[in-house]
Chain A
């Protein structure tokens, strides 16, 4: 009964069952508190704690499915928003990052060992210390570890587009997935519900790939009774910056400083895992782009200090 982010209810096949209703009803319990976005915005210090911890999470999970690090960052945001900020001591951030990754890996049924995570950052934690941190996170998250994320809503919203061509559907889904990964780093998008993020990402992808049909998709999405039109509009507009950034970064891989901690890029670091995770891999990205990305991410994993210093500049 492993946890699948795209299908958090473990096993339902009919895409319009009332199971989606429960997802829409429960999603707000799986996102950071409302004031989290405000508090991140008002205090520069908080942003740096979040950034640094995300950067450690990215290093720790760079050899795994990118959804693993997405889930770990979801836990991190919910934890920080309920606990308030921690002291920014490097060992605390590292322990927090290890525990979030460890919990995410257990939920996803990913084979890993805590020992794999030790040593790199110059700190060694014993199992009990990590366990205590895990328990602290579980308590703060009320054991709601089956996070409802934007990925949970992709199949719902894409079905509203009524696309007949499976390869088009796949392309839109792949591009939306890229955008969702990027969106996690964008603090101004943290206040939106996962379903709104998913809908906006799909619309952004449709706007790029099928501009002629876009108005029709937009109408279908905003007519959905679960969607707050105003929020959708706000989120879609806010998302356009990163969508453009995303385009630039696809065009110009060398200038990678635009998105400091790019969780998305990890998916290309683990090209080996493509066979297990074919749905994630973008079919719209060309081979050479992938290679550039992979080189970049490998360098990133090998040399975390360089990356962190880059983050601090931003």
Chain B
């Protein structure tokens, strides 16, 4: 790892520390993600092997953060480490939204930028899904932004299985539930690409509102936030919902007008959002279909 000069620690990702670093030879700035590799009796663990090679394959999309290389090394105690070397982007969508809210000059995100960011996000998600990969933890912190070029890329992908499911991050910061789909919150055991679309919907609304749509602080509260806006789901709307593992008797709320929650969105935007937030996962729009939604008609797609 002598190839890189660590500049600063930029975060504690769910799976380990992340550093901003410079390639000493080329001067290129990169993000180094350090992960311990639990070697077993059989050499390099199969899960790490499969996940990293999957990441390698996915990072061919422009809308997924690029994995530049993988470096294997040993720590002071001789334990094996894996450094995933990613392209570096200066900021993420959470910081970017905050910079429009918590500053001397609060202002909405330009509607054309919301549209462009959402399009790029759907492109990236469609790419992952066409490769059979679910992200499962999409949130503004995981979306890296190059604000000068107006580019958005998906990060923190695919390491779900090799590096155990994130319940708590390394800093014991509780993993956010705000973007979690209702079927996951209700304990459904086999979930699909629709879980990512729910998260995309929440992120879409958050870009338009500059604050989270469903800011719950426990799984129960999270469900109540959702039910209060979209109405308590019924068997008619979502067949089988009451048989999910964590289903209880919930207060009965009527659905509110979604447009009022996102006043800055026009009718096409609200329509797309409502399709992303369908209760029944089978009815939720796919990332690929979302790209053809009329909301994007006014976008110059030739740039993507």
Residues of A participating in the B interface, judged by any CB pair closer than 8 Å: 1-3, 8-12, 17-19, 22, 25-26, 102-103, 106-107, 109, 113-114, 127, 130-131, 134-135, 138-139, 142-146
For the complex, give the distance between the alpha carbons of A103 and B49 in Å: 8
Contacts of B52 in A (CB 8 A): 143
Counting CB contacts under 8 A, is B70 at the interface?
yes
One digit per residue, 1 when the CB lies within 8 angstroms of any chain A CB and 0 when it does not, for chain B 96-130 equals 00000000000000000000000000000000001
Binary contact track B30-55/A, C-beta < 8 Å → 1, others 0: 00000000010111101001111110
**B contacts with A, residue count (CB < 8 A):** 23
| Shortest distance between the CB of A167 and any CB in chain B (Å) | 29
Task: Give chain B interface residues in 51-65, CB to chain A under 8 Å.
Answer: 51-54, 56-57, 60
Minimum-distance CB pairs A-B, first 7:
A11-B132, A10-B132, A106-B46, A145-B53, A131-B43, A143-B70, A9-B131
Known: A107-B49, A131-B39. A25 touches B57 (CB 8 A): no
B133 touches A10 (CB 8 A): yes
Q: Do A25 and B60 touch (CB < 8 A)?
A: yes
- Write out the residue numbers on chain B whose beta carbons fall within 8 Å of the beta carbon of A2: 50
Which partner residue on chain B sits nearest A137 by CB separation?
Answer: B44
Q: Is the CB of A127 within 8 A of B42?
A: yes
Q: Which residues of B contact A (CB under 8 A)?
A: 39, 41-44, 46, 49-54, 56-57, 60, 69-70, 72, 130-133, 161
Interchain CB contact (< 8 A) of B56 among A10, A17, A18, A142 = A142
Known: A9-B132, A12-B130, A18-B130. A146 touches B46 (CB 8 A): no
Contact of B44 among A1, A3, A113, A138 (CB under 8 A): A138
Bound Cα distance A143, B70 (Å): 7
A135 to B83, CA, bound (A): 13
B130 proximity list for chain A (CB < 8 A)? 9, 12, 17-19, 22
Question: Is the CB–CB distance between A26 and B57 below 8 Å?
Answer: yes
Chain A nearest CB from B41 CB (Å) reads: 6
Nearest-CB distance from A243 to chain B (Å)? 32
**Minimum C-beta distance from B292 to chain A (A):** 13
28 sampled A-B residue pairs with Cβ under 8 A = A1-B50, A2-B50, A3-B50, A3-B53, A10-B132, A11-B131, A19-B131, A22-B131, A26-B57, A26-B60, A103-B44, A106-B44, A107-B50, A127-B41, A131-B39, A135-B44, A138-B49, A138-B72, A139-B72, A142-B69, A143-B70, A144-B56, A144-B57, A145-B50, A145-B53, A145-B56, A146-B56, A146-B57
